[in-house]
Amino acid sequence: MDRRRFCKTTLAASIAATYPLIGGCSKEAPVASKADTSIAAVSLDGAQIELKKAAINELGEALRGTVLLSGDPGYDSARKVWNGMHDKRPALIARVASAEDVSTAVQFAHGNNLLLAVRGGGHSWPGKSVCDRGLMIDLSALTKVSVDSGQKRAVAGGGALLNGLDTACLEQGLVTTAGVVSHTGIGGFTLGGGYGRLNRKYGLAVDNLLGATIVTADGEVRHVSAEEEADLFWAIRGGGGNFGVVTDFEFQLHPFNRNVLSGMIVWPLAQANDVLGFYADWHQDISDDLYVGPALVTLPDGTGVVAAEVVYAGDPVAGEKELAAFRAVGKPIEDGISMQDYMVMQTQEDATFAHGIRSYAKNGMVQEFTHDFATALIDAYINDPRIMCFTHTGGGAVNRVTESATAFPHRNAQTMIGFAGGWTDPAADEEAIASVRQWFSAAEPFIGGYYDNIEFDRSKSTGNYGPAYERLARIKGQYDPDNLFRLNSNIKPA
């Protein structure tokens, strides 16, 4: 099938049309100016504080990077994050150029008891990578990705995007698990766990993390791994941004042929019971090579569809055989599975989740994708092109890692279910958010815990980590006793 025709007619293109493509956040060349007066700011506990002119200018002089103040060229583009619902104005932005810059900025925030946000790719759904009247550390200059093909390892900067990681690795015939929207930042994606289309074969991103450089709340630049500060290394693999600012990630890579059997299958919504009912039984026994992620979506013309994205990361002949029964269910509107470059799948949702859309999401972890669960999703379906139900499929290599091996707490969940909306008109916020919540409520009886990277509302992780929470709180107390890193799904220091 002609790929351009396929992209125009399948779910990926239809969803992209649903959410108008808004240009990415272009970065103006930052030109810092010195503060000519003190600046009003906010402390960690929300109190009004004043940052002295001399202290601000001293910070600017100490950085290789740039300090941006309101009104400076580059300030407005630097404060913009992916989700257009968040329009916040930091008191100052430290656009850092190195781990040492990060250390200087962290010490400035700590010493001034200043609210702190950390921006990697800026994809935090609830907007926690930016703050009002605090300090935002902007990692967007730390994008370098280096691949050692002999050692099968990659080192990626804390501001790198998933596209940069995928591209650099695939050029060497290698890959690691990366997420499903290529302009997502590596940092938040990895620290929260890291689901992707290869996680059934290679595990989550945290399972492929070999080491990291992290700046902790005391300003120390630390290298962590299984051999170095192992407790902290354990905590950052699933504990989110609670423990510091990661400036470098080191990943395990795997040999990979980028030309893979992959694509989308789309059925009319009327066949959803047949499709998801079959999937509920069939997916229990699929191989680790196979990733299938079902979704329920309304196309721009109001047509409801059930769809599944597929990646088979193995011998395509075996893949065709394994997929045959699933492809034979019902009468698809289109079956777009073919041999194609892996990056077709890795970038197909970039327009759907374009920079600047207003977006809200809820999610939960599902132990078992059953017939009853499928029925609940279908019965609650809302015919609205602005919202969708999607899944990230676990199992395979994900649940062969013990629950205590990393801080990621949901090894035994077969599926992460998400409900998300995207729109451009602020007047639609209330209605669209209510619709997402309504659909999510139908899934709640089947849910235990949630995936931090996507959750919008819940800001405390107490009940989400189960028996691991006590250990996380202890490590948090050791490395961040004042809870400087609190703009996240927060773990209170013990």
**Tokens representing residue 450 in the block:** 């949630």
Number of structural domains in the chain: 3
Q: Is 167 inside a domain boundary? A: yes
Indicate the length of the chain as a whole number: 494
| Domain match, 349 and 428 both | yes
What letter represents residue 106's amino acid? V
Q: Is 207 inside a domain boundary? A: yes
| Domain match, 348 and 268 both | yes
Count the neighbouring beta carbons within 10 Å of the beta carbon of residue 437: 15
| Domain match, 168 and 129 both | no
Choosing from 227, 255, 283, the residue where a domain stops is 255
Task: Give the domain CATH number at 238.
Answer: 3.30.465.10
| Domain match, 245 and 264 both | no
β-sheet bridge partners, residue 50: 40
Alpha helices in 417-467 (DSSP H): 429-443
β-sheet bridge partners, residue 474: none
Residue 216, C-beta contacts closer than 8 angstroms, at least 6 positions apart: 106, 222, 232, 243, 244, 479, 480
β-sheet bridge partners, residue 421: 360, 387
Distance (Å, whole) CA 187 – CA 146: 16
Q: Is 110 inside a domain boundary? A: yes
Domain hosting 193: range is 145-255
| Domain match, 75 and 196 both | no
Distance (Å, whole) CA 38 – CA 52: 5
Predicted confidence at residue 31, as pLDDT, reads: 55
Predicted confidence at residue 460, as pLDDT, reads: 63
The per-residue b/e assignment along 105-115, b for 16 or more CB within 10 angstroms, e otherwise, is bbbbbbebbbb
Q: Is 235 inside a domain boundary? A: yes
| Domain match, 52 and 120 both | yes
| Domain match, 418 and 269 both | yes
| 278 touches 195 (CB < 8 A) | no
| Domain match, 131 and 157 both | no
Q: Beta strand pairing status for 48-51 and 92-95?
A: unpaired
Task: Give the domain CATH number at 309.
Answer: 3.40.462.20
| Domain match, 211 and 268 both | no
Choosing from 192, 226, 255, the residue where a domain stops is 255
Q: Is 472 inside a domain boundary? A: no
Task: Give the domain CATH number at 73.
Answer: 3.30.43.10
Sign of CA dihedral 216, 220, 226, 231: negative
**C-alpha to C-alpha distances, 210 to 144, 176, 184, 230, 480, nearest whole angstrom:** 17, 12, 21, 11, 23
Q: Is 478 inside a domain boundary? A: no
Q: Is 24 inside a domain boundary? A: no
| Domain match, 338 and 384 both | yes
Predicted confidence at residue 30, as pLDDT, reads: 56
Per-residue pLDDT tens, the chain, 494 aa: give them: 333 333 334 444 554 444 433 334 444 455 556 888 899 999 999 999 999 999 999 999 999 999 999 999 999 999 999 999 999 999 999 999 999 999 999 999 999 999 999 999 999 999 999 999 999 999 999 999 999 999 999 999 999 999 999 999 999 999 999 999 999 999 999 999 999 999 999 999 999 999 999 999 999 999 999 999 999 999 999 999 999 999 999 999 999 999 999 999 999 999 999 999 999 999 999 999 999 999 999 999 999 999 999 999 999 999 999 999 999 999 999 999 999 999 999 999 999 899 999 999 999 999 999 999 999 999 999 999 999 999 999 999 999 999 999 999 999 999 999 999 999 999 999 999 999 999 999 999 999 999 988 887 775 677 899 889 999 999 999 999 999 999 999 999 99
Residue 53, C-beta contacts closer than 8 angstroms, at least 6 positions apart: 35, 36, 37, 38, 39
| 250 touches 155 (CB < 8 A) | yes
| 403 touches 295 (CB < 8 A) | no
| Domain match, 173 and 212 both | yes
C-alpha angle with apex 13: 398 to 269, nearest 5 degrees?
75
Q: Is 23 inside a domain boundary? A: no
| Domain match, 265 and 156 both | no
